[in-house]
Amino acid sequence: MNDHFDTMPSDITAGSARRDPYMLGRSSGLRDGRSRQEGATGRGEGGPAPKFVTVTYGFWIFLLSDIIMFSAFFASYAVLVNATDSGPTGKQLFDLTRVAVQTGLLLTSTFTAGMASLAIERRSMPGAQAWLVVTGVLGALFLLLEGQEFITMIGENAGPTRSAFLSAFFGLVGCHGVHVGLGVLWLGTMMAQLWVKGFRADILRRLHCFGLFWHALDIIWVAIFSLVYLLGASQ
Amino acid sequence: MTDKTAPSDASTDTRDAAPGEETIARNEPAAGVPGYLLGYGLAILLTAGSFVAARTGLIYQPAVISALVVLALAQIGVHLVFFLHLTTGPDNTNNILALAFGVLIVALIVLGSVWIMDHLDQNMPPMKPQQLALLARCPAERLPGGVGDGPCGA
Sequence spans of domains, chain A: 1-47, 51-234
Last residue of one domain, picked from the residues B87, B109, B129: B87
Q: How far apart are CA B117 and CA B91, in angstroms?
A: 41
**Confidence band, pLDDT 50/70/90 cuts, at residue B18:** confident
pLDDT at residue B89, rounded to an integer = 80
Domain residues for the domain of B50 are 19-87
Residues B79 and B102 placed together within one structural domain of the fold:
no
On whether residue B56 sits in a domain, the answer given is yes
On whether residue B81 sits in a domain, the answer given is yes
CATH superfamily, domain at A51-234 = Cytochrome c oxidase, subunit III, four-helix bundle (1.20.120.80)
pLDDT digits (tens, 9 = 90+) for B80-115: 999 998 888 878 888 999 999 999 999 999 999 999
Q: CB–CB of B141/A103 below 8 Å?
A: no
pLDDT digits (tens, 9 = 90+) for A100-135: 999 999 999 999 999 999 999 999 999 999 999 999
Q: CB–CB of B72/A227 below 8 Å?
A: yes
Number of H helices, E strands in chain A: 8, 0
**Confidence band, pLDDT 50/70/90 cuts, at residue B2:** very low
How many residues are given for chain A?
Answer: 235
Residues B62 and B106 placed together within one structural domain of the fold:
no
Least reliable range by pLDDT among A56-65, A80-89, B41-50: A80-89
Residues B107 and B125 placed together within one structural domain of the fold:
yes
* Residues A173-179, mean pLDDT to the nearest whole number: 97
Residues B83 and B102 placed together within one structural domain of the fold:
no
Mutate to test the interface with A, among B1, B11, B15 (most CBs of A within 10 A): B15
Is the predicted pLDDT of residue A11 greater than 90, yes or no?
no
Residues B55 and B74 placed together within one structural domain of the fold:
yes
Mutate to test the interface with B, among A228, A230, A235 (most CBs of B within 10 A): A230
pLDDT digits (tens, 9 = 90+) for A30-51: 444 444 444 445 555 556 778 8
Is the minimum CB–CB distance between B136 and chain A shorter than 8 Å?
A: no
**Tally of structural domains, chain B:** 2
Q: Which of A37, A42, A78 sits opposite B16 (nearest CB)?
A: A42
